[in-house]
């Protein structure tokens, strides 16, 4: 276990999950990845499970109960906390959160910060994907 677990709630992210997991697993310091799939009909969970069979730092939870981002996030956070480790974070599977920012956040946390939050709305923050005007307004 690396000490850092990244919880990734997913639903219909087959197009992105491999790229995201590979980028997360390539990070230094090393992180563990916990994919919490809401029983995606597009095969997201199967793709992640196939990767997990080859990668011990990847775990997949396939949820079949009530769906939703919040429920998947809570289940993932509970599972990550139960595993132990130093830090837990969440990341969206659609690549709207840049995995390359994570080492800097971990560094700040290890330096003693009580809470570290990544935001695209702070100085130096940016949108990784091109959201339309309606999504930006939300």
Return the domain boundaries, the chain: 4-137
Predicted TM-score (pTM) of this structure: 0.87
Tokens coding 13:
């992210």
Whether the Cβ atoms of residue 13 and residue 59 lie closer than 8 Å to each other: no
DSSP-based three-state secondary structure for 4: strand
Return the pLDDT at 125: 67
Q: How confident is the model at residue 4 (pLDDT cuts 50, 70, 90)?
A: very high
**Residue of 50, 57, 12 whose CA lies nearest to 32:** 57
In angstroms, rounded to a whole number, what is the distance separating the alpha carbons of residues 61 and 75? 9
Mean pLDDT of 12-19: 98
Rounded to the nearest 10 degrees, how much is the dihedral formed by the CA atoms of 123, 35, 67, 46? 130
Reduced to 3 states (helix: H, G, I; strand: E, B; else coil), residue 62 is: strand
Q: What tokens were used for 87?
A: 């830090």
pLDDT, tens digit, for every residue of 45-91? 999 999 999 999 999 999 987 889 999 999 999 999 999 989 999 99
Asked if pLDDT for residue 21 goes beyond 80, the answer is yes
pLDDT at 16 over 80: yes
pLDDT (tens digit, 9 = 90+) per residue, 121-136? 777 766 655 656 655 5
**Residue 96: which of 3, 19, 4, 5 has the closest Cα?**
19
Question: What is the architecture, at CATH level 2, of domain 4-137?
Answer: Alpha-Beta Complex (3.90)
């Amino acid at each position: 276990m690396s000490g850092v677990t990244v919880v990734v709630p997913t639903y219909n992210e087959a197009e992105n999950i491999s790229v995201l997991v590979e980028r997360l697993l390539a990070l230094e310091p090393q992180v563990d990845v916990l994919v919490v799939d809401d029983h995606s009909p597009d095969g997201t969970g199967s793709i992640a499970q196939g990767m997990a069979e080859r990668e011990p730092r990847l775990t997949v939870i396939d949820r079949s109960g009530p769906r939703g981002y919040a429920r998947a996030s809570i289940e993932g956070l509970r599972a990550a906390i139960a595993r132990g480790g130093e830090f837990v974070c969440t990341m969206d599977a659609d690549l709207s959160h840049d995995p390359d920012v994570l080492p800097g956040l971990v560094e700040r946390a290890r330096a003693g910060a009580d809470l570290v939050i990544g935001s695209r709305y702070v100085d130096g923050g940016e949108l990784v994907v091109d959201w339309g005007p309606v999504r930006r307004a939300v």
